[in-house]
Structures are given as structure tokens and as C-alpha cells.
Amino acid sequence: MNAMKHSSFQQSRRQFLRNSALATVGLSLSARAAGPKLSSGDKLNLGIIGAGGRGWDNLQGVGTENIVALCDVDDERYKAAIEKYPKAKRYKDFREMLDKEKSLHAVTVSTPDHVHAIAAITAMRHGKHVYCEKPLAHSIYEARQMAKVAREAGVVTQMGQQGHAFEGSRRAVEVIRSGVIGEVKELHVWTDRPAGWWPQGDPRPSETPPVPSTLDWDLWLGPAPYRPYHPIYVPFKWRGRWDFGTGAIGDMGVHNLDTAFWGLELGLPDSAELKDSAKKTEDCPPLWSIMELNYPSRGNRPPVKLTFYDGKKTAADGPVRR
């Protein structure tokens, strides 16, 4: 990449951050619940931010509503959505979509993790209701900002945590709260990811292959620091890079820890410690890790020790039994 083009990317990134919802403290909010008023039986006007990959799955859940606009940075990834909803307006930049599509009632956000907060907050500041795929955000700060703006804007929001709606999850919570298994004092939760799902524990690649013609790489990077395109990041494999994803605990911990948090009402831990792990790099989480979190007593309930294992390890000397 020549110096001039690199400079333009850097300027674009600074402009993105300067104009983003996270960086513009004190902006006046748009009118609440923007878009035309709904009557009983009316359909919602929806904008889809991230219409390929997981976004395509989420689109099936709302496909009976009016799909007004589709937004994706990679034309190849959302071909199926384009074919199914040929009348929907097409955008690469969600900011342009939100500025132009005044009729939208709500949006779905199914982008990589690092774009969740900015896309959702921008939509909320436009007065749109938001469904955002898990993990809700890329950092604790972003999650708190999302909650703050949702309250201020008076919009309806939901995080996509599909397992939370499963019958088995509800039954497990009922069993825990009934006391039939006694007081829970220790939990062990695990996932086989990332092994076999995406690379992790690796250094940043040094090669700079050309960007596919269908992909707007600068928009894909969004608020992340600039780096050259590489196919090791997209699609989906970005989860194992700190700038874009949240590793195995953000991908599957959201699901696998949910029943315990829900049933035991754990809240915030008193301590969190990395007990053991494979090597990590500046760019990636380790290929496997073991974490211990200790939660305080809640009313008459005792403290809880929770151990989370990822990457097929339950102890330093052996793999997870599958």
C-alpha cells in the first residue's frame, strides 16, 4: 500500500472515531422511537446491519417484517440476502443507511464484535430500536455506554443470546432455585473453542495480500486501529484477534456461563484470575486458558467459585473429555 493511500485510511479512521457515537459525548438525541407510528397488525420497517454470516441467520428471524435496507461491507457475504430481498436498499456504511432511511423503526446488528457498540449506539441516537448479536460489546466500557444511551433514547433493545430462550436453560434455572440440588458453591464451565474454529495465540501476519474487490476493508475495520487486510481475519476468524473479537469467553462463555449467572444471580465477582494458559501474543488470546472467578455471598446464598476452561483444557496436565 502506498504512503498516500495509507494516510487516507488513517485519516478516515480518525474521522470515524471523531464522528462515532462513542466519541461524541453530549450529542442531543433524536426524537424517540423515530419512524412512522405503528398500528396493530402493521409490520416493522427494519434495517439490517451485517446481512451475511450470522446476520443472515438473524435475518431469517425477522424476515416477515418489512426489510427496508441491507447493510454489509462485503458484497459477496450477503448475496443470499440481496437475492431474497431485492427491493431493499443496499448500503456498505451503516451511518449512511441511518441518515437516509428515515422510515426505519429498528435495526439488527450482526457485525463483528468490535463494531457492535458503535453501530447500536448510532442507531439508538437516531431513535431506532436495536437487536444486537452477542457478545453485546467489545469492552465493559462499551457495554455501559450502550445501556446509558438506550435509557436516554427510550428505545427497546435486546441482545441475541439464543440459548437463554431454550427450554433446557429455563428448567436448569428452576432446578437450581428450587434448592433440590442444595446450595451451589462451585461451578466448572468449559468450551472446546477456539481449537478447530479459528486461529489463536498467533502473531500478527506480516504479509499484505490484496483486498478482495467485494470487500470495503476500511469500513470493516471501523473503529479498530488500522492494519493491512489479510484473509486470516475474515470471515469469522477475527474472533481470535484482540482488536476485533473477544476470544472464546466472549464467543461461547456468553452461552455456557449464562445458566449459572441466571440461576444463581451471581452479579460481579470479587476476584478474577488466570490460573493457567498456553502462550499468548500481543495480537491474540492464548490457544487455551483456565480462569477462576470468585463471587461473594448473595443474601443467604454462599460464595461461589467458578472455573472456566477454554480450548479443550480442564487442567494443565490434560485435555477436556468430550
pLDDT tens digits, one per residue of 23-59: 443 344 444 555 566 666 789 999 999 999 999 999 9
Give dist(CA 200, CA 313) in Å, integer. 15
pLDDT tens, residue by residue, 64-94: 999 999 999 999 999 999 999 999 999 999 9
What is the amino acid identity at position 255? H
| pLDDT the model gives residue 4 | 38
Other beta carbons within 10 Å of 225: 8
pLDDT the model gives residue 312: 84
Residue 316 has pLDDT above 60, yes or no: no
What pLDDT, in 10s, does the model give residues 205-262?
999 999 999 999 999 999 999 999 999 999 989 999 999 999 999 999 989 999 999 9
Residue entry with cell 446450595? 183
Hey, which residues does 90 pair with through a beta bridge? 70
**pLDDT tens for each residue of 139-177:** 999 999 999 999 999 999 999 988 888 999 999 999 999
For 166-322, CATH gives 3.30.360
Q: Which CATH superfamily is domain 3-160 in?
A: NAD(P)-binding Rossmann-like Domain (3.40.50.720)
Instruction: State pTM to two decimals.
Output: 0.86
Q: What is the pLDDT of residue 13?
A: 53
| E-assigned strand segments in 81-181 | 89-91, 106-109, 129-133, 157-160
| End-to-end Cα spacing for the chain | 46
pLDDT exceeds 50 at position 3: no
| Grid-cell match 435509557, residue found | 151
Every domain of the chain and the residues it spans:
3-160, 166-322
- How far lies 215's CA from each of 3, 31, 99, 252, in Å? 21, 34, 22, 27
Assign 11 a pLDDT band (cuts: 50, 70, 90): very low
